[in-house]
């Protein structure tokens, strides 16, 4: 890694400079804060380098195929199945009827939210995603960061961040902005990869969630709760699975950077063979792939 391309950063949660190496991958090191336990990439690529990752190839070759849309299709039933459990949890907070998604990508979640009666806004930095959300789905999406969007204070009932927070350069600041935009009593929904996933010990450093170019932060229940509480959120509630989840959502053995390795093949065989039996235990032990939190302003 060329020195001018990387930067050293303090812990985003407690400001400490002390950390110990945790994993090294692709020339970048993932560290753990010795004071509060937050896991993050340090030193990390600078913003201009990180943002290069979000190019049209990333959107069309990685993001869209992973969302059943290799050719730009909108498979409404599939998205409805994924979005509805989240929308059900947010429904009690419906007053103004306004919902904001930060990092909305193509806007699939927002489109379903709109169908169920929410007035929706999105924020997204990936140009081709913004174009798709606006032109194909007819959504209201701001291109840029949440800080640049300049929404009014207390103007939303709900803010949603699905697989976004781990990509942010300053997650605490962005979530603080979300807090400012929520009306008192409004709710935030955050879904991130779970650093305590059983897939980490099983796949080791090959686990594709460990992607230090663009996944800059790795949360546990403890560190995500701490971040939400520091900002002022209350009634923080965690979820380990939603109604539509199946075994591959709980522990996905395909999330590996070396699918052909013996280790990856063994894990895949194990999950496909015994996954359904151990699934309830994995959920009970909070070792699922995703960590989801609902919190109230």
296 binding Zn ion? (CB under 5 A): no
Least Å from the CB of residue 44 to Zn ion: 15
9 binding Zn ion? (CB under 5 A): no
Contact 295, 234 (CB under 8 A): yes
13 binding Zn ion? (CB under 5 A): yes
Near Zn ion by CB under 5 A: residue from 9, 22, 25, 36? 36
Residue 247: other Cβ atoms inside 10 A = 17
Residues facing 53 on adjacent strands: none
Near Zn ion by CB under 5 A: residue from 30, 31, 38, 123? 38
Dist CA 128 CA 180 (whole Å): 28
Which CB sits closer to Zn ion, 42 or 250? 42
Least Å from the CB of residue 48 to Zn ion: 26
Contact 38, 217 (CB under 8 A): yes
Least Å from the CB of residue 145 to Zn ion: 23
Which CB sits closer to Zn ion, 35 or 183? 35
Q: Which stretch binds Zn ion (CB under 5 A): 5-13, 218-226, 233-241, 252-260?
A: 5-13
Please report where in the chains the tokens 């990092």 appear, as a residue: 103
Least Å from the CB of residue 222 to Zn ion: 11
Least Å from the CB of residue 216 to Zn ion: 14
Contacts of 205 (CB under 8 A, 6+ apart): 23, 24, 25
227 binding Zn ion? (CB under 5 A): no
285 binding Zn ion? (CB under 5 A): no
Q: Does residue 27 sit in helix, strand or coil?
A: coil
Near Zn ion by CB under 5 A: residue from 28, 33, 159, 202? 33
Q: Phi then psi for 140, rounded to 5 degrees? A: -95, 100
Which CB sits closer to Zn ion, 9 or 14? 14
Sheet of 39-41, strand order: 19-25, 28-33, 39-41, 217-218
Near Zn ion by CB under 5 A: residue from 16, 266, 281, 285? 16
**CA-CA-CA-CA torsion sign (155, 160, 165, 169):** negative
Q: Which stretch binds Zn ion (CB under 5 A): 14-22, 48-56, 120-128, 190-198?
A: 14-22
35 binding Zn ion? (CB under 5 A): yes
Size of the site for Zn ion (CB under 5 A): 8
**CA within 13 Å, CB half, 237:** 12
Per-residue 3-state assignment (H helix, E strand, C coil) for 88-102: HHHHHHCCCCEEEEE
Site residues, Zn ion (CB under 5 A)? 11, 13-14, 16, 33, 35-36, 38
């Amino acid at each position: 890694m060329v020195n001018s391309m990387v930067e050293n950063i303090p812990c985003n949660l407690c400001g400490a400079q002390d950390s110990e190496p945790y994993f090294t991958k692709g020339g970048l090191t993932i560290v753990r804060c010795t004071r509060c336990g937050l896991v993050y990439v340090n030193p990390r690529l600078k913003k201009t380098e990180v943002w290069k990752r979000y190019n049209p190839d990333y959107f069309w070759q990685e993001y869209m195929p992973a969302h059943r849309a290799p050719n730009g299709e909108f498979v409404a039933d599939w998205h409805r199945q994924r979005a509805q459990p989240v929308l059900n949890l947010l429904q009690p907070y419906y007053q103004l009827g306004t919902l904001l998604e930060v990092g909305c990508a193509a806007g699939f979640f927002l489109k379903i939210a709109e169908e169920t009666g929410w007035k929706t806004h999105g924020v997204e930095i990936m140009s081709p995603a913004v174009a798709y959300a606006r032109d194909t789905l007819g959504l209201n999406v701001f291109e840029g960061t949440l800080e640049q969007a300049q929404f009014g204070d207390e103007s939303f009932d709900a803010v949603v961040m699905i697989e976004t927070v781990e990509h942010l350069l300053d997650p605490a600041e962005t979530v603080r902005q979300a807090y400012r935009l929520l009306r008192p009593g409004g709710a935030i929904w955050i879904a991130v990869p779970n650093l305590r996933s059983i897939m980490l010990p099983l796949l080791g450093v090959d686990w594709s969630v460990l992607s230090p170019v663009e996944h800059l932060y790795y949360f546990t229940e403890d560190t995500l709760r701490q971040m939400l509480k520091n900002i002022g959120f209350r009634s923080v509630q965690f979820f380990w699975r939603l109604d539509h989840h199946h075994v591959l959502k709980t522990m996905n053995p395909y999330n590996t950077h070396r699918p052909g390795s013996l280790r990856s093949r063994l894990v895949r065989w194990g999950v496909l063979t015994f996954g359904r039996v151990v699934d309830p235990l994995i959920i009970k032990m909070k070792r699922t792939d995703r960590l989801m939190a609902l919190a109230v302003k």
